[in-house]
Amino acid sequence: MNIYTLIMLFFIIAVYLVETAANLLNVKNISNNIPPEFDGYFDREKYSKAQEYLKANTKLSVISSTFFLTAQIIFIVLKGFNYVNTIAVSFSFGTILTGLVFAGIVFSAFEILKIPFSVYSVFIIEENFGFNKMNVKTFISDLLKSWIITAIIGAVIFAAILWLFANVYRYAWLYAFAAIVIFELFITFIAPVTIMPLFNKYTSLEDGELKNSIEEYAKKENFKMKGLFKMDGSKRSTKSNAFFTGFGKFRRIVLFDTLIQKHTVDGLTSILAHEMGHFKLGHIVKHIIFSSALSGIMLFIFSLLIDKAWLYDAFFMRTQDIYAGIIFFSFLYAPVSLIISPILSYFSRKHEYEADLYSITTYRKPQAMINALKKLSVDNMSNLYPHKFKVFLEYSHPPVLERIKAINRIKLG
């Protein structure tokens, strides 16, 4: 074993330890006291059920990450990548096709190993806690559809990057960057009308009190909507959500049918005002710019490392093939992402506070918003007392009690 392998394994293990520590601290932080804000929302029984739910999910996540860590280490140390490459090369295809076979084998193996964990998550945990509405048929068809979509999108991007790095020597990363940004924008525009309907049914929100309330608010705020949709989230889970997607012609607001069933018109309009806030405050554009910049930086670093022998030595590869380099580079990305993801999460939480503020100052119904947030937390069995370290590492939304406190501090003139 060479020093590069050891350094790389050290990083993989370090990431695992940090994430596992956050998970364990999070479970230790559970409190038996129902916060006074939730009086009348959580009864003792439901509250302890929510804590059991957190424990069950944490246990599964620790078991699965331990399994994948072990599998990765064994695969790397037994020179698995070099073995997969001998299979890929044996077809005598050109570089791009060989690369697609190589990546295809690696990713298929990973996807197949993931299946038992998602089966357990959906049919044991979600089922036992009364969330699951999915039957085996939906589960399998979801899996197949997402595989086909990922395979098509992944193959196109992977082939494009391979082609650029093999044919445009100078500034290949810059061309690859441009290609990825164009592709990302394309997907953002068309996903709501092409990909998402493959998984769920979207129907226009029917006329009535709710639609009137939302349209009236949107008109007052000069917000042009291209569509207000109801999604059949109840097909998979009793959990609820609302989101905003697409741009321009494809811009649409989507409410889960499960959300509509459980909330008041004022509560739902507050939630939508929050979603519109994300748009009005430029959060969505900021997010696209930031993640594009990130892919640009990654591709640039990749272009510097691609021909370094140590990258291939670390994974016991006998040849230096760019397609394998891309996969190895993604391993180096794990420790980098441990640093980047808290930064992204920090900004995401900041945006959540801003969108709440937007909702309260424009729709002006703080109590309706607070009640909706409480109801959402109870219905989705959210953890009311997440550990600070867990929040720091990966929480895209602030813990609900802090959101409520922040809303209570807003002064309406």
Task: Name the minimum Å distance from CB 275 to Zn ion.
Answer: 7
E strand spans, 77-207: 202-204
274 is in an annotated binding site: yes
Question: If 0-12 CB within 10 Å is exposed, 13-18 middle and 19+ buried, where does residue 169 land?
Answer: exposed
**Catalytic residue check, 111:** no
R_g of the chain computed on alpha carbons: 24
Q: How far is the CB of 185 from Zn ion (least distance, A)?
A: 22
Q: Which of 318, 338, 293 is nearest to 86 (CA)?
A: 318
- Greatest extent of the chain over all pairs of C-alpha atoms, in Å: 73
By CB atoms closer than 10 A (0-12, 13-18, 19+), residue 134 is: middle
**164 or 272, CB closer to Zn ion?**
272
Q: Give the pair of three-digit tokens for residue 348.
A: 């995401």
* Catalytic-labelled residue, pool 19, 37, 321, 356: 356
What residues between 351 and 370 interact with Zn ion by CB under 5 A? 352, 355
CB closer to Zn ion out of 37 and 352: 352
Contact window for Zn ion (CB under 5 A) among 7-15, 40-48, 187-195, 350-358: 350-358
Q: What are phi and psi for residue 79, nearest 5 degrees?
A: 60, 40
Element (H, E) at 47: helix 44-77
The least distance separating Zn ion from the CB of residue 351, rounded to whole angstroms, comes to 7
Smallest gap, in angstroms, from Cβ of residue 285 to Zn ion? 15
- Find, among 229, 181, 170, the residue nearest to 205 by Cα: 229
Q: Give the Cβ contact number of residue 290 at 10 Å.
A: 12
Find where tokens 């069995």 sit. Answer: 381
Instruction: Compute the least distance from the CB of residue 360 to Zn ion, in Å.
Output: 13
126 or 352: CB nearest Zn ion = 352
Size of the residue set binding Zn ion (CB under 5 A)? 2
Stretch of 78-86, 224-232, 345-353, 367-375 lying at the interface with Zn ion (CB under 5 A) = 345-353
Name the active-site residue from 19, 126, 275, 379: 275
- 210 vs 276, beta carbon nearer Zn ion: 276
Identity of the residue, 260 or 299, whose beta carbon is nearer to Zn ion in the bound complex: 260
Decide if 52 is catalytic.
no
Structure token digits, residue 183? 């592709």
Residues that bind Zn ion (CB under 5 A): 352, 355
Annotated binding residues: 274, 278, 352
Q: Point out the annotated binding site for Zn(2+).
A: 274, 278, 352
Active-site residue numbers? 275, 356
